[in-house]
């Protein structure tokens, strides 16, 4: 092999080695970014926290609570002993979530609760089903409170009182400490209305 051919082959080999080094460097960078994202829990991504609040009066007892976020069951508990009804707040979900639109499905079963002249309430069963849609953007956290409450007043028929409303607060992901709300609460959806 003469010197010119050798030089050409050597340059070709060096070019291919440099190209392979560049591919390895790019792959290493992508892997490092992916690793940082996974290990840091999606910092800089979108987050959400969902909490259930039971603001029902003593006339109702929650006997079942089911929460499904984007088709995945997050909480499913059934209890006739009164332990579930005694919990005024239940954390449902807290963590990273993909930016975009999401759907929360809620099913609550309630039983009337009374004693003395109101003991007839024990025969009443109620079911509240609702779907709530919300959006999360990159770099933000949505705090969603799902609140069971009684709509109407003393003249409202018992079967029309159980309802669910939603309260959303939007925060920056980097500022999720106490008092860090940037945008304040969003107006709650009207009771019984899907969003």
- Residue length of the chain: 195
What is the pLDDT, as a whole number, of residue 154? 78
Q: What is the mean pLDDT of residues 69-98?
A: 90
What is the pLDDT, as a whole number, of residue 153? 80
Say how far apart CA 11 and CA 112 lie, in whole Å. 85
> What global pTM score does this model have?
0.63
pLDDT category of residue 135 using cuts at 50, 70 and 90: very high
Is the pLDDT reported for residue 190 higher than 50? no
């Amino acid at each position: 092999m003469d010197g010119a051919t050798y030089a050409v082959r050597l340059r070709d080999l060096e070019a291919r080695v440099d190209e392979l080094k560049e591919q390895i460097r790019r792959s290493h960078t992508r892997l490092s970014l992916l690793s940082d994202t996974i290990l840091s829990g999606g910092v800089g991504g979108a987050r959400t926290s969902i909490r259930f609040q039971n603001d029902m009066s003593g006339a109702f007892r929650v006997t079942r609570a089911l929460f499904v976020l984007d088709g995945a069951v997050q909480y499913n508990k059934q209890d006739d002993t009164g332990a579930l009804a005694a919990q005024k707040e239940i954390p449902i979900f807290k963590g990273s979530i993909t930016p975009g639109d999401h759907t929360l499905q809620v099913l609550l079963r309630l039983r009337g609760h009374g004693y003395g002249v109101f003991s007839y309430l024990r025969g009443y069963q109620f079911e509240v089903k609702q779907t709530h849609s919300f959006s999360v953007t990159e770099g933000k956290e949505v705090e969603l409170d799902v609140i069971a409450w009684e709509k109407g007043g003393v003249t409202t028929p018992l079967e029309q009182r159980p309802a669910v409303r939603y309260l959303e607060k939007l925060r920056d992901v980097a500022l999720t400490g106490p008092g860090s709300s940037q945008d304040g609460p969003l107006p709650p959806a009207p009771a019984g209305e899907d969003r």
